[in-house]
Amino acid sequence: MVAPALSGSIIFRQRRCRKGSAPWETLMHAAVLRYVDQVARLGSIRRAAEALNVASSAVNRQILKLEEDLGTPLFERRRNGVVPTAAGEVLLRHIRDTMADFQSVKAEMAGLSGVITGHVRIISLESLALRFMPRVIEELSTAYPQVTFTVLVVNPSEVGEELRSGRTDFGVLFTDRRFEGVQVTDTFATCVGAVMRPDHPLAGRESVTLTECSKHPVVMLHDRWLLDAIMTTEFAQSGAKLEPRIVSNSIEFMRQVILRNLGIGFFSPVGFLDEIRRGELVHVPLAEPQLAGSGLGILVPQHKRMTPSARIAINHVRDALAKFLQVPADAGDGSQR
């Protein structure tokens, strides 16, 4: 069966699916909208029904009815769950855009009364989530008690999809121009460097290469994202090999092992500012040019409708990040080495 084209014009067409049923405008804001979204997220009708606190038979019945109305399957039924079909993926994008827009409209309407409400979903670097975001959320929660927040740490490889999905309002992350459909609104320059104790043999250098670091014990994050391609290029030229002594996916764990002089770590200074300012650790920039010009920024989905609460949160994060990095608040491209 050829799947019909699912577009906004079809989803919102003024017609009735069958005698006695609601028009599409009503249908797409009814329970079935949440059902389809949850089933896709959890990969199971039963688990979605439990999360929604409804009977699984009701969820299944609504989805079957929607599939009949559209004339195409939305999910592929498998022994261990369900996955969206190609038509289901198209519909899911529309559903999530519709839900996000509806929440934005509700927040804007509430804002007309002078009361800021709504929910703000932020993705963040782990280093910022540990040292920066708690203070920011505390300040926002105090000023706007009717706004709720979700703050998530995501792997760098998942950032693009997370921002494009429409679920997230903005991210506080390393900037990466390769992301499609994502706008970088503010950038604060930083650099990736070698983090080590001040008594380390390389601590007094103005910069170091990865090859020089490879002669000493190193510790590495499990998700090396930014470094892998650059290490491959450099080590192919130098013949060196970097074999980490310790690998972990926790920046807090990495902080502790570096403080114990178990190896050099490769990070921007952001996650170690307190230790650097106290003189417990030093940050020596890496000489590789691809790493010297990296930056932190606020990243937003290009086509997402921004709610008043999200705009307030972005403005507050911008000012707080400038202060945290000791950069003038109006200097979007200020330097923090």
Query: Residue 194 is encoded by which pair of tokens?
Result: 């070698």
Q: What is the pLDDT of residue 293?
A: 59
Query: Residue 298 is encoded by which pair of tokens?
Result: 């606020």
Q: What is the pLDDT of residue 17?
A: 41
Fold designation for 8-98:
Arc Repressor Mutant, subunit A (1.10.10)
Band the pLDDT of 335: cuts 50, 70, 90: very low
Q: What is the pLDDT of residue 238?
A: 62
DSSP state of 264: B
Q: What is the pLDDT of residue 198?
A: 96
How much of the chain exceeds pLDDT 70, in percent?
A: 75
How much of the chain exceeds pLDDT 90, in percent?
A: 30
Q: What is the pLDDT of residue 259?
A: 96
Q: What is the pLDDT of residue 227?
A: 57
pLDDT tens digit sequence for 257-269: 999 999 999 888 8
Band the pLDDT of 334: cuts 50, 70, 90: very low
Evaluate whether 337 touches 269 at the Cβ level (below 8 Å).
yes
Query: Mean of the per-residue pLDDT values for the chain?
Result: 79
Average pLDDT rounded to a whole number, residues 242-246: 84
Alpha-carbon radius of gyration of the chain? 24
Residue 274: φ, ψ to 5°: -65, -45
Query: Residue 181 is encoded by which pair of tokens?
Result: 């459909």
Q: Where are the domains of the chain?
A: 8-98, 116-185+294-324, 193-292
Q: What is the pLDDT of residue 111?
A: 61
The one-letter amino acid code at 130 reads L
Residue entry with tokens 């009361």: 115
Q: What is the pLDDT of residue 51?
A: 86
Q: Is the dihedral of CA 153, 159, 162, 164 positive or negative?
A: positive
Q: What is the pLDDT of residue 143?
A: 93
Q: Which CATH superfamily is domain 116-185+294-324 in?
A: Periplasmic binding protein-like II (3.40.190.10)
Q: What is the pLDDT of residue 287?
A: 84
Evaluate whether 153 touches 125 at the Cβ level (below 8 Å).
yes
How much is the pTM? 0.61
pLDDT tens digit sequence for 28-57: 446 788 888 889 988 998 998 888 888 888
Burial per residue of 212-226, b for 16 or more beta-carbon CB atoms within 10 angstroms, e otherwise: bbbeeebbbbeeeeb
Query: Who has greater pLDDT, 326 or 280?
Result: 280
Output the CA–CA distances (angstroms, integers) from residue 296 to 65, 175, 190, in the order listed: 47, 6, 7
- Asked if pLDDT for residue 202 goes beyond 90, the answer is yes
Average pLDDT rounded to a whole number, residues 226-254: 72
pLDDT tens digit sequence for 142-186: 999 999 999 999 877 778 778 877 789 999 988 866 677 788 888
Please state which architecture CATH assigns to domain 193-292. Answer: 3-Layer(aba) Sandwich (3.40)
Band the pLDDT of 25: cuts 50, 70, 90: very low
Query: Who has greater pLDDT, 17 or 178?
Result: 178
Band the pLDDT of 112: cuts 50, 70, 90: low
Q: What is the pLDDT of residue 70?
A: 87
- Asked if pLDDT for residue 232 goes beyond 90, the answer is no
Same fold, 116-185+294-324 and 193-292: yes
Output the CA–CA distances (angstroms, integers) from residue 212 to 162, 202, 207, 233, 276, in the order listed: 36, 9, 10, 15, 22
pLDDT tens digit sequence for 81-109: 899 999 988 888 888 777 766 666 666 66
